[in-house]
Structure 1
Amino acid sequence: MSTALQAQRREADRALAARDARIPGLNWVLDDGLLSELLGESVRITRTRYKPHTSALVAFRRAGDGAGSYGWASTTAPEHAGKLQRRADSSRKRGGGIRLLQPDDLHADVLVAVGPIDEDWPLRPNLGWLRDHGLGRLGALPAAGRFLEPPVSVLRYNPERRLVIRVPSATLPVVVKTAAHAGEAAAGRRLRQRLASHGIPVLPELADPECAAHGISASPDWGHGDLSCGDNDPAAYRAGQALAALHGMDAEASTDPTADVEDLVRQLAATRSMITCLLPGLEAPVTRLTGRLLASLGAGDPHGPRHVLVHGDFSADQVLVDGPAIRIIDFDRARTSDPARDLGSFAAVEDIADAAGAVPVAGGRQTAQLIDGYREAGGHVSQARVEAWAAFRLFLNSVDPFRNRASDWPAETDWHIRRALELIA
């Protein structure tokens, strides 16, 4: 990151911390330099979860490989500091690694809790079961050293939510996801089995019901990257065909468009609240965008598109590729909704990946190939609906530059809002 961008991000973070005096330690977990100073080692913050006036939780990374290079840090409003203290006390009694740090000697109520992945409080029980029982059930070979260390590699870590790792086995490596909530793994296991039975190209589920009961799902490592890694027209076309087949499946239960609209309203309200908290200057365009999205997508028209099973988070990085062959992954947000939702989601993420080249219509070359394959396989969708759902995904993702610690998150967030308004003008 350039010095100028560092300064811009630091200024925006400090302005946010100044507005939220309810969390006096906020700036210490937003700034790489301050957190490094507090820990006495160089770290880079990779993920932020912020609850205004309540708490902030971040994942950070040191140099190196394996879970040992990752950690988390959390700070809260003073009235919630007792929870941090109790967790640190419990960890110390077990010989765990949670530390409670006080960055400001003058203010005893400013506390930052820091710990390793295996002391992530909501994930800890399921990670412990994975260590003691799960890896063997999955045919994975134990790590040569400490649990989660090389040759095990961390693919994604979302603190207090989920951890995705790659573990060697006697044949292909195994990709293992551990979620804090067991219901996520159990529901995902049932859905993937159903999708496979309908010929949808998904990866086989290696986790048995006992693994799923402990929040664990797994599949063999497959392919050579995903669609986001470069142009692959045949794979994008096949992804469109597979998406049409997914949308053509019978829903297991009756769909309720009213419930879908209510959920959409909740998501729009939550995103609007967060963006105006992070960047108060965007209140006017965010209010305008929310109104347009509600008018376009929240009307609840009984004659509108038939609701079908959708992926719910569809994008190029959810499509693994091996030449023209594909596998669709990560059905955690599957639901019943407008089929254009998946296509618009894909288009929005392609726009985000190439913000400088965004054209008047949503998406680019891959989206065009996807829609061609979708229509060839019998899918029906209008460009207007695709662009409305693309605007929705852009709006929801407008929080991501802050969460993912983008080098210039205020400017990137502003771009998301402006692009969404262009698409739903």
Structure 2
Amino acid sequence: MSTPQGQRLQGRWLQGQWLQAQRRDADRALAARDVRVPGLNWVLDDELLSELLGESVQIFRTRYKPHTSALVAFRRAGSGSYGSGSYAGGAGSYGWALTTTPEHVGKLQQRADSSQQRGGGIRLIQPDHLHPDVAVAAGPVQEDWPLRPNLRWLRDHGLRRLGALPSAGSFLDPPVSVLRYNPERRLVARVPTETVPVVVKTAVQADEAAAGLRLRQRLQSHGIPVLPELADPECAAHGISASPGWGQGDLGGGGNDPAAYRAGQALAAIHGMDTDPGADPMADMEDLVRQLMATRSMITCLLPGLEASVDALTGRLLAAVGAAGPRRQQPVLVHGDFSADQVLVDGPAVRIIDFDRVRTSDPARDLGSFAAVEDIADPAGVGPVAGGRKTAQLIDGYREAGGYVSQARVETWAAFRLFLNSVDPFRNRASDWPADTSWHIRRALELIA
């Protein structure tokens, strides 16, 4: 007879197998609906992609454009836990794969040929020789086509500017460790130096005017707890920003009420800064509407059965945060992507990071965003209002520092963030992404009822 522990382990294994089967069925149904991308199923399934590449890999990020293309990032088996601060795997542990419509296979072939001529690692694989329109291009992080120019500049010039020297082998090999990789968007790596490690982000999008550097300096001058920007304007022009490593993790870890309270105080200080006099409220509204409609389109494509719920939610959100939203509250400078993982902590001390989406908007937007992400982290523990203990501490600190926000507006913006994040279970290859996506929609409807 098996032991209780053995029974629990077997139960978890069976549940894992069932979840994988659910995800595989949903992926196959999606691939069957999108005949314009005949290789879609090959880049959504770990086993099929592993078979194609001739090595065991796990997909952790997907960017899907219906009827156009699918791009995934994968990590090689045994390469550790993606995204953890202690992970010491270099870029060699990761790669990407891309499939597209038949008329664009020639472009993929050109990229593979160009890479091979330079000694790079892009290859074009046709899994079914009877159907030459099915093709998958795959390559290493260094051969990520849009990122490649800026990564090369980082290797040749940027690391020295940041006080780090390239390693003897590939410049992204250990002791350099990859923290985040979003294919064709950005790579975040921890790079050792003679003093403290430096966290370096290389993005496709260049900051030609060094606006990010100026914003960081402005935040510091107002006493906002942020990390110093180490990259200079030349780095910014090549999509590179950097900060010293700091803290013991982020606010998404264990309970840290003092840190959440201080984060609320810091957020109030950000909201109290002068806004850009040239900010256009109508542009913010138009962006909100675009985000809502794009999310609606994607979710109904991924899960057609949710169309009625998604339409109802989209309509409510358009009424709440669209045309009428900015007139309800004086717009302020907002973080734009605020959540617990954007707050580094060291005991009660905090540092706010990642100001890429700063804009002028409703101050409740940041608080609702934080609340939504806390709900997502603990879906079983959500209550009748948005957020949990950390959100409550955050709002207490925010109000103590002079910020004003109503619970109703927090919940409106929490519903907005939940809806936008409803695509993430699919993108991040959650074990049962259809159920997770459905939960996002239901929870958002609860908050904006």
Q: Which band: TM-score by shorter chain?
A: over 0.9
Please give the alpha-carbon distance, in whole angstroms, between the structure 1 residues aligned to 2:338 and 2:325.
24
Query: Does the aligned pair in 2 maintain the 1:394–1:420 contact within 8 Å?
Result: yes
Which stretch of structure 1 is more off in the superposition, 300-309 or 120-129? 300-309
Distance 1:46 1:110, change over 3 A: same
Local SS of the residue matching 2:207: helix
1:178 alignment partner in structure 2: 202
Q: What is the percent sequence identity of the aligned residues?
A: 82
Local SS of the residue matching 1:49: strand
Matches within 5 A, 1:132-171: 132-171=156-195
Of residues 131, 140, 143, the one that matches 1:119 is: 143
1:74 alignment partner in structure 2: 98
Which stretch of structure 1 is more off in the superposition, 62-71 or 137-146? 137-146
Matches within 5 A, 1:402-417: 402-417=426-441
Please give the alpha-carbon distance, in whole angstroms, between the structure 1 residues aligned to 2:217 and 2:199.
17
Distance 1:293 1:154, change over 3 A: same
Structure 1 residue 299: Cα displacement: 2.9
Asked if 1:92 corresponds to 2:92, the answer is no
Please give the alpha-carbon distance, in whole angstroms, between the structure 2 residues aligned to 1:185 and 1:424.
39
Asked if 1:50 corresponds to 2:64, the answer is yes
2:26 corresponds to which letter in structure 1? A
For normalisation by structure 2, the TM-score amounts to 0.93
2:160 corresponds to which letter in structure 1? G
Asked if 1:355 corresponds to 2:379, the answer is yes
Of residues 18, 24, 33, the one that matches 1:19 is: 33
Structure 1 residue 52: Cα displacement: 0.2
Local SS of the residue matching 1:57: strand
2:248 alignment partner in structure 1: 224
1:159 corresponds to which letter in structure 2? P
1:29 corresponds to which letter in structure 2? V
Number of residue pairs matched by the alignment:
425
Matches within 5 A, 1:217-366: 217-300=241-324, 303-366=327-390
Structure 1 residue 300: Cα displacement: 3.0
2:25 corresponds to which letter in structure 1? E
Local SS of the residue matching 1:284: helix
1:203 alignment partner in structure 2: 227
Local SS of the residue matching 1:192: helix
Structure 1 residue 185: Cα displacement: 8.8
1:29 alignment partner in structure 2: 43
2:55 alignment partner in structure 1: 41
Please give the alpha-carbon distance, in whole angstroms, between the structure 1 residues aligned to 2:326 and 2:163.
50
Query: Does the aligned pair in 2 maintain the 1:247–1:309 contact within 8 Å?
Result: yes
Deviations 1:77-115, CA, capped at 9 Å, x for gaps = 111112211111111111111000001111011110000
Please give the alpha-carbon distance, in whole angstroms, between the structure 1 residues aligned to 2:385 and 2:262.
22
Please give the alpha-carbon distance, in whole angstroms, between the structure 2 residues aligned to 1:42 and 1:205.
38
Distance 1:255 1:181, change over 3 A: closer
Please give the alpha-carbon distance, in whole angstroms, between the structure 1 residues aligned to 2:428 and 2:42.
16
Please give the alpha-carbon distance, in whole angstroms, between the structure 1 residues aligned to 2:109 and 2:327.
55
Q: CA RMSD in A?
A: 1.2
For normalisation by structure 1, the TM-score amounts to 0.98
2:408 alignment partner in structure 1: 384
Asked if 1:9 corresponds to 2:23, the answer is yes
Deviations 1:46-66, CA, capped at 9 Å, x for gaps = 100000000000000003321
Query: Does the aligned pair in 2 maintain the 1:261–1:300 contact within 8 Å?
Result: no
Structure 1 residue 302: Cα displacement: 6.7
Query: Does the aligned pair in 1 maintain the 2:326–2:361 contact within 8 Å?
Result: no
2:75 alignment partner in structure 1: 61
Runs of 4+ in 1 over 4 A off after TM superposition: none
1:129 corresponds to which letter in structure 2? W
Query: Does the aligned pair in 1 maintain the 2:231–2:240 contact within 8 Å?
Result: yes
Deviations 1:172-225, CA, capped at 9 Å, x for gaps = 000000001112893322211111111111100000111111110000000000
Structure 2 unmatched runs, 5+: 1-12, 80-88
Structure 1 residue 144: Cα displacement: 4.3
Please give the alpha-carbon distance, in whole angstroms, between the structure 2 residues aligned to 1:385 and 1:68.
45
Please give the alpha-carbon distance, in whole angstroms, between the structure 2 residues aligned to 1:320 and 1:74.
34
2:420 corresponds to which letter in structure 1? L
Query: Does the aligned pair in 2 maintain the 1:343–1:386 contact within 8 Å?
Result: yes
Deviations 1:203-262, CA, capped at 9 Å, x for gaps = 000001111111100000000000001110000000000000000000132432222111
Please give the alpha-carbon distance, in whole angstroms, between the structure 1 residues aligned to 2:231 and 2:202.
11
Structure 1 residue 141: Cα displacement: 3.5
1:357 corresponds to which letter in structure 2? G
Distance 1:415 1:185, change over 3 A: farther
Please give the alpha-carbon distance, in whole angstroms, between the structure 1 residues aligned to 2:376 and 2:208.
28
Local SS of the residue matching 1:155: strand
1:286 corresponds to which letter in structure 2? V
Please give the alpha-carbon distance, in whole angstroms, between the structure 1 residues aligned to 2:196 and 2:395.
33
